[in-house]
Structure 1
């Protein structure tokens, strides 16, 4: 992502706030209208800024899109941290983590007609941001599993795959849960809960 504060003449905090303001407006517009139908004019109006001000911080719509995905990652990361700070059975916390990360992204993009288009745009213009977004789940899932195993609640060896492979399987299952007719946020959340239940059963010792 480019250094948008360069040449803007604005203090760092003001620049950060302005970038977040634009990214938040873009997230609403991309979810509502899709990427192609959203213009820089639309983004400037939604953010309450002059178009010239918008271009002080962003080179173009791709740049805005990357900032939008980075902002979404920050919000999802905060939700994941809340899950890790909570207490409860491993299965419930894993389900909450899946909902915070994968469910949060699904809901943010409106779970509507533009989801397929936005996924394609992410791959084409925001590869680094996508990897960073996925790493959020990996990092928190690793910590959840490590803490739960240290507490004697789970035994990862029961799954007969490495923790890394187990987390990859979780991510693949979460992606697969959106296939077919596009589910509602509620339905998708229920599917994530089922995925968590299956994985938890695979690593929970017999009592």
Structure 2
């Protein structure tokens, strides 16, 4: 199956990323990690850059799927749905900043290879949050887009804190108390 082999290429690319980083990884490294020839890898990706772009896309798409799932969970209060969207972003960053100093390269919005992916991911999260704030209602003087931007800024701040994952729940609870209209959705 082509999709399965592509997943293997991307898994090998991730493995190489953790060891060497984007610049030092070669197509030979990816092929050796897979146990195949370099020409076999070229059947699934056009170049090393293409492999890394697809890897970054896959990881961001997985996080976006988690965010979308949280956003549409009609059984959960709006505050929990918002927190779920934010957790998807924070989890992606923590996942990529932990195993190796090189994996965080996939998060660089200014990078030539990944900038568009990172920017689109944040824009998609922002749209999800705006819809949730429109549904829940924001306090007077706070537009849903502003509330979304504030929440994204909170997560960006938590990404830099050693205990950010643990702080997400109390931080969003406090923030949402000031952003959401009081009522059942704010809980």
- Relative to the length of structure 1, the TM-score reads 0.72
Does residue 156 of structure 1 match 2:138?
A: yes
Selected match of 1:99 from 83, 87, 94? 87
Does residue 78 of structure 1 match 2:59?
A: no
CA distance in 2, matches of 1:174, 1:24: 27
Structure-2 change in CA distance of 1:175 and 1:47 (3 Å): farther
Selected match of 1:174 from 155, 170, 176? 155
Residues matched between the structures, number: 182
- 1:179, CA displacement in angstroms? 2.8
Does residue 191 of structure 1 match 2:167?
A: yes
- 1:67, CA displacement in angstroms? 0.4
Does residue 39 of structure 1 match 2:20?
A: no
CA distance in 1, matches of 2:134, 2:53: 32
- Determine helix, strand or coil for the equivalent of 2:22: coil
Q: 1:157-190: per-residue Cα shift (whole Å, max 9, x none)?
A: 43x232222212222221222336xx2xxx2212
- Counterpart in 2 of 1:129? 117
Selected match of 2:40 from 36, 53, 60? 53
Structure-2 change in CA distance of 1:122 and 1:33 (3 Å): farther
- 1:201, CA displacement in angstroms? 0.6
Q: Which structure 2 residue ranges, 5 or more long, are not aligned? A: none
Q: Which structure 1 residue ranges, 5 or more long, are not aligned? A: 1-13, 150-154
Higher relative contact order (CA 8 A, sep 6+): 1
Runs of 4+ in structure 1 deviating by more than 4 angstroms, as ranges, are 115-118
- Counterpart in 2 of 1:202? 178
State whether residues 9 and 34 of structure 2, in contact with CA within 8 Å, keep that contact through their aligned partners in structure 1. yes
Q: 1:64-111: per-residue Cα shift (whole Å, max 9, x none)?
A: 111011111221122123212433233332222211223134214535
- 1:120, CA displacement in angstroms? 4.2
C-alpha root-mean-square deviation of aligned residues, in Å?
2.8
- Counterpart in 2 of 1:62? 49
